[in-house]
Structure 1
Amino acid sequence: MRLITFPGQGTPISVPILKTIIESKSKQFSKILTRNGPKTNDLLQYIYKNPSSPGSIAVCSNLFYQLYDIELNQIYRDLQYTNQMKHDTQDLILLGHSLGELTCLSINQLFSIRDLFNIANYRNELMVKYTEKYLVAHKMNHSTKFEMWALSSPRADDLPNQILTLLNNIRHTAPTISIANVNSIKQCVVTGVIEDLEKLRIESQTKFPRLRVTELTNPNNVAFHNSTVLRPIQEPLYDYIWDILKLNQNHTATKLDYPIIGNLDGRISTFVHHAIERFVRCSSTTVKFTECYDTINEVLEIKDGAVNMGPSNVIYNLIKRNCDLDCYEFSSLDTVNNFNQLEMDRLKGIKEQVARESAEKQI
C-alpha cells in the first residue's frame, strides 16, 4: 500500500516551477490535456494568473497526480509488467489537508477537473459569504477581520488540547476564536477576530514558554474551520456537490476506487457518501491531522511509502515529521525525476524477485 497526499488551501503555487515541469514533461501533459478535454488548457492559463485561488490549488495538485499516474504506467510498460503485477503494486490510500480532501474525491473519478475547480471556488465563496454574515449579524464594524495565527511551542506536551482548554476558559471574553488545524502536538492554527486573538496571545504566552505566534496570510479574512461561523455552509456545499454528481450520472456510485483518510476524525472512508459527508462537515470544523497520523502509524500497513503531491512541500514536511514512512516529494522537476528513478528501481527489483521465485518453483 502507498499513501498519496494533497495540499490544502493557502498552499503556494510557484508558477515558474509549474511551467518548468509542464515544459519538460510536454509529452505527458499533452496526454493530460487530451484526457481532460480541450478546456483544461484554459484552467492552466487561469492558474498562471491566479496561483493563490482555491480552484487553482486543487486543480494543480490533481495535475501532479495525473503526471504521477502517467509516469508510473510508462514505467510498467518499460518493464513489461503484466496487468496482475500492476494491480499488485497499485494499492493506494489518499489523504488531503482540508481542500486537499476534495482533490482526493476527484482522484476517485467522481467529477471532472473542471468540476473540481468549480467546487473549490464555490466552497471558498460560501466561506467568505458566511464570514461576512457573521460579522454583520454581530454588528461588528467594517474594519473587523478574521485572522489566522499559527501557534507552536517545542516544549508543549499537547499544544492543541492545551490551547483548547485555554480557549474554553476565556470563551466569554474571546468568543470568536476556534482551532482551525491541529497539525502536530507542538503546533496548531487558530482563527478569530484580531481583538480576541490578542487576548489569546496575552494568556497563552504566560502559560507556554517559548510560544511562537506566526500571523498567516488570509486575503479574504475567512474564519477557516470555525464552526461557530461556518456551520451554515454545510447544506449548500453538500447540495452543490451532489448536483454535480447527478449531472455526471455518478450519484449512484457507492464505493470509492481509493479509500480516503478523513480530516474530520482520522477514520477511513471507503464509501462515496461517507467521504463526501466528512469533507463537507470538516469544511466548517477543525482539521484533525494528528488523528490522520494515528491512523497511518497505528492502523495501516503502508509499505510503499508516501508520495506527497505538489504544489509546495508543506504536506511532505508534515508527513515526514509525524509518520513512520519513507516520504517522497512530487512537487518540482527535480523531485519528480528523482521519484521516477527510485520507482523504476523499486519495480524492477520486484519483477526480478518474482522471476526468481517463479524459477525456484519450477526446479
Structure 2
Amino acid sequence: MRLITFPGQGTPISVPQLKAVINAKAKEFEKIVSRNGPKTNELLQYVFRNPASAGSIAVCSNLFYQLYDINLNEQFRALQYTNQMRKDYEDLILLGHSLGELTCLSINQLFSLRDLFNIANYRNDLMVKYTDKYLVAHKMNHSTKFEMWALSSPRAEDLPLQTLSLINSIRHTAPTISVANVNSSKQCVVTGVVEDLEKLRIESQTRFPRLRVTELTNPNNVAFHNSTVLRPIQEPLYDYIWDILKLNQNHTTTKLDYPIIGNLDGRISTFVHHAIERFVRCSSNTVKFTECYDTINEVLEINDGAICMGPSNVIYNLIKRNCNLDCYEYSTLDTIDAFQNGEFERLKGIKDKLAKESMKMQI
C-alpha cells in the first residue's frame, strides 16, 4: 500500500516551478489534456494568473497526481510488468489537508477536473459569504477581520489541546476564536478576529515556553474551520457536490476506488457518501491531522511510502516529521525526476528478484 497526499487551501503555487514541470513533461501533459479535454489548457492559464485561488490549488495538485500516474504506467510498460504484478503497486490510500480532501474525491473519478475547480471555488465563496454574514449579524465594523495564526511551542506537551483549554477559559471575552488546524502536538493554527486573537496571544505567552506566533496569509479574511461562523456552509456545499454527481451520473456510485483518511476524525472512508459527508463537515470544523497520523502509524500497513503531491512541500514536511514512512516530495521538476528515477530502479529491482526466484523454482 502507498499513501498519496494533497495540500490544502493557502498552499502557495510557484508558477515558474509549475511551468518548468509542464515544459519538461510536455509529452505527459499532452496525455493529461487528452484525458481531461481541451479546456484543460484554459484551466492552466487561469492557474498561472490566479495561483492563490482555491480552484487553482486543487487543480494543480490533481495534475501532479495525473503526471505521477502516467509516469508510473510508462515505467510498468518499460519493465513489462504484468497486470498481476502491477496490482500490488496500485493499492493506494489518500489523505488531503482540508481542501486537499476534495482533491482525494476527484482522484476517485467522481467528477471532472473542471468540476473540482468549480467545487473548490464554490466552497471558498461560501466561506467568504458566511464570514461576512457573521460580522454583519454581530454588528462588527468593516475594519474587523478574521485572521489565522500558527502557534508553535517546542516544549509543549500537547499544544492544540492546551490551546483549546485556554480558548474555552477566555471565550466569554474572546468568543470568535477557534482551533482551525491541529498539525502536530507542538503546532496548531487558530482563527478569530484580531482583537480576540490578541487576547489569546497575551494569555498564551505566559503559559507556553518559547511560544512562536506566525500570522498566516488570509487574503479573503475567512474564518477557516471555525464552526461558530461556518456551520451554515455545510448544507449548500453538500447539495452542490451531489448535484454535480447527479449531472455526471455518479450519484449511484457507492464505493471509492481509493479509500480516504478523513480530517474530521482520522477515520478511513471507503464509501462515497461517508467521504463526502466528512469533507463537508470538516470544512467548518477543526482539521485533526494528528488523528490522521495515528491512523497511518497505528492502523495501516503502508509498505510503499508516501508521495506528497504539490504544490509546495508543506504536507511532505508534516508527514515526514510525524509518520513512520519513507516520504517523497512530488512538487518540483527536481523532486519529480528524483522520485521517478528512484522508483524505476526500485521496480526494476523487484522484477529482477522475482525473475531469479522463478528460475530457482524451475531448477
TM-score tier by shorter-chain length is over 0.9
**Which AA in structure 2 matches 1:325?**
L
* CA distance in structure 2 between the aligned counterparts of 1:88 and 1:14, rounded to whole angstroms: 34
Asked if residue 106 in structure 1 is aligned to residue 106 in structure 2, the reply is: yes
**Which AA in structure 2 matches 1:286?**
T
* CA distance in structure 2 between the aligned counterparts of 1:207 and 1:161, rounded to whole angstroms: 13
CA RMSD of aligned residues (A): 0.5
Deviations 1:115-156 (A, max 9, x none): 000000000000000000000000001100000000000000
Deviations 1:247-293 (A, max 9, x none): 00000000000000000000000000000000000000000000000
Show the counterpart of 2:266.
266
Which SS does the other structure have where 2:142 is aligned? coil
Alignment of 1:328-343 (within 5 A): 328-343=328-343
Show the counterpart of 1:356.
356
* CA distance in structure 2 between the aligned counterparts of 1:252 and 1:9, rounded to whole angstroms: 29
Alignment of 1:49-68 (within 5 A): 49-68=49-68
Show the counterpart of 2:284.
284
Show the counterpart of 2:198.
198
* CA distance in structure 2 between the aligned counterparts of 1:101 and 1:355, rounded to whole angstroms: 39
User: What is the TM-score of this pair, normalised by structure 1?
Assistant: 1.00
* CA distance in structure 2 between the aligned counterparts of 1:240 and 1:296, rounded to whole angstroms: 31
* CA distance in structure 2 between the aligned counterparts of 1:285 and 1:350, rounded to whole angstroms: 43
**Which AA in structure 2 matches 1:321?**
R
Show the counterpart of 1:37.
37
**Which AA in structure 2 matches 1:236?**
P
Show the counterpart of 1:153.
153
Show the counterpart of 1:316.
316
* CA distance in structure 2 between the aligned counterparts of 1:259 and 1:69, rounded to whole angstroms: 17
Show the counterpart of 1:141.
141
Deviations 1:174-208 (A, max 9, x none): 00000000000000000000010000001010001
Q: CA deviation at 1:210?
A: 0.7
* CA distance in structure 1 between the aligned counterparts of 2:116 and 2:134, rounded to whole angstroms: 27
**Which AA in structure 2 matches 1:83?**
N
Which SS does the other structure have where 2:339 is aligned? helix
Q: CA deviation at 1:361?
A: 2.0
* CA distance in structure 1 between the aligned counterparts of 2:120 and 2:156, rounded to whole angstroms: 34
**Which AA in structure 2 matches 1:163?**
T
**Which AA in structure 1 matches 2:102?**
L
Deviations 1:39-68 (A, max 9, x none): 000000000000000000000000000000
**Which AA in structure 2 matches 1:292?**
C
* CA distance in structure 2 between the aligned counterparts of 1:232 and 1:168, rounded to whole angstroms: 22
Deviations 1:149-178 (A, max 9, x none): 000000000000000000110010000000
**Which AA in structure 1 matches 2:115?**
D
Deviations 1:297-347 (A, max 9, x none): 000010100000000000000000000100000000000000001110111
**Which AA in structure 2 matches 1:293?**
Y
* CA distance in structure 1 between the aligned counterparts of 2:332 and 2:218, rounded to whole angstroms: 25
Q: Which moved more, 1:342-351 or 1:174-183?
A: 342-351
* CA distance in structure 2 between the aligned counterparts of 1:13 and 1:286, rounded to whole angstroms: 24
Alignment of 1:208-287 (within 5 A): 208-287=208-287
Aligned length: 363
Which sections of structure 2, spanning at least 5 residues, go unmatched?
Answer: none
Which SS does the other structure have where 2:12 is aligned? coil
Which SS does the other structure have where 2:134 is aligned? helix
Q: CA deviation at 1:38?
A: 0.5
Q: Indicate the percent of aligned positions where both proteins have the same amino acid.
A: 83
List structure 1 runs of 4+ shifted beyond 4 angstroms: none
Which SS does the other structure have where 1:225 is aligned? coil
Which SS does the other structure have where 2:347 is aligned? helix
Alignment of 1:79-90 (within 5 A): 79-90=79-90
User: What is the TM-score of this pair, normalised by structure 2?
Assistant: 1.00
Q: CA deviation at 1:360?
A: 2.0
* CA distance in structure 2 between the aligned counterparts of 1:124 and 1:137, rounded to whole angstroms: 20
* CA distance in structure 2 between the aligned counterparts of 1:89 and 1:113, rounded to whole angstroms: 24
Show the counterpart of 2:293.
293
* CA distance in structure 2 between the aligned counterparts of 1:223 and 1:88, rounded to whole angstroms: 42
**Which AA in structure 2 matches 1:223?**
A
